[in-house]
Amino acid sequence: MDDRFTIADFRKRFPDDAACLEEIRQIRFRDFTCPKCGRENELSRVKGRTSYACNCGYQVYPLAGTVFEKSTTSLWLWFYAMYLMVQTRAGISAKQLERELGVTYKTAWRIAKQIRTLMSAEDGEMLSGEVEVDETFVGGADQNRHPDKKHSNRGGHQDKAVVFGMVSRGGKAKLVHVPHTGTEALTPPIVLNVAPDATIYHDEHGVYSKLHKVGFTHDGIKHQRKQYVSGSVHTQNIENIWSHLKRGITGVYRHVSPKYLQLYANEYGWRYSHRTLQGGMFDALVSQVSLPVAKRG
């Protein structure tokens, strides 16, 4: 069975702005009861406006409160940008979006930023079962850095940004940009995002050895001793995410400011979490327009 969602499929399903608006309307007001007259599901499109009205005149605005609100860019272009961003495992740069959409670089960058914000929408689900945790450093290679910043007392990581990751085996991933790798930076995201009855696997970083103090069952692997797998204890899934994240940042985006690193982390965490959907990834992304933006960490 071919479950791909091709560009031909996309164009057939969404030929214009009206079709895109109707998709958002279906997501947000599929089962609508008018607060004014009490009628159910009697909304019709208001000509010339991005709104729908009940027979009594009460109107709803599907784009209100979403990333599309107040945008002067065609809703179809927004949908097409979302389609492009879920079609690749490595991501797509704002420069490429500029070429694909035929908009200015500033507009393309803003659209990509807002879509990544949409990818951070929170469903409230905690990571459960067997959960791997690890941290990674994001920044330039040591040989490309200023001489004053090479060979620091953190092993060349002094001015690099830190991303902390948590992934449930067979499930979702959550990535958080944290200020450092100390206990006060790594423990709160675990408590916030991992179910208390989960089993956590980690490397030999000292912070993780204290997880039992906050109620978690955990076990570690000793990478420094060339130990990478011991029965079910390993961190291969989170390390796989790091490889995609770093290839994307260095190969596609070239450079990511620490100010926006969380948004890029959201993108790669979201893509991993929905990896099994394949052709359904686009629908999964659009469906998040009604969810609140996640506050991780």
**Domains delineated in the chain:** 1-64 (no CATH), 130-278 (3.30.420.10)
Q: Mean pLDDT in runs of 10 for the chain (297 residues)?
A: 83 97 95 93 93 95 94 97 89 93 97 93 87 90 44 51 96 95 95 96 92 94 81 93 90 86 93 90 92 64
pLDDT at 229: 87
Please check whether residue 164 is in contact with residue 184, taking contact to mean a CB–CB distance below 8 angstroms.
no
Alpha-carbon distance values, 270 to 174, 250, 287 (Å): 8, 19, 13
SS3 content of the chain, % helix, strand, coil (to 5): 45, 15, 40
pLDDT at 141: 55
What is the radius of gyration, based on Cα positions, of the chain?
Answer: 22
pLDDT at 290: 83
Output DSSP code: residue 292. P
Cα gap 201→219, rounded to integer Å: 5
pTM: 0.86
Q: Where are the beta strands (DSSP E) in 179-246?
A: 199-202, 217-220
pLDDT at 174: 95
Please check whether residue 263 is in contact with residue 112, taking contact to mean a CB–CB distance below 8 angstroms.
no
pLDDT at 144: 41
Cα gap 161→175, rounded to integer Å: 13
Cα gap 196→286, rounded to integer Å: 31
Cα gap 173→60, rounded to integer Å: 35
Please tell me whether residue 35 adopts helix, strand or coil conformation: coil
Rounded to the nearest 10°, the torsion over CA 184, 186, 192, 198 is: -130
Nearest to 58 by CA among 29, 86, 87: 29
Please check whether residue 226 is in contact with residue 76, taking contact to mean a CB–CB distance below 8 angstroms.
no
Alpha-helical runs (H) found in 126-167:
none
Task: Look up residue 171 and give its two tokens.
Answer: 């499930």
Nearest to 177 by CA among 285, 289, 262: 262
* Locus of tokens 């959201």: 266
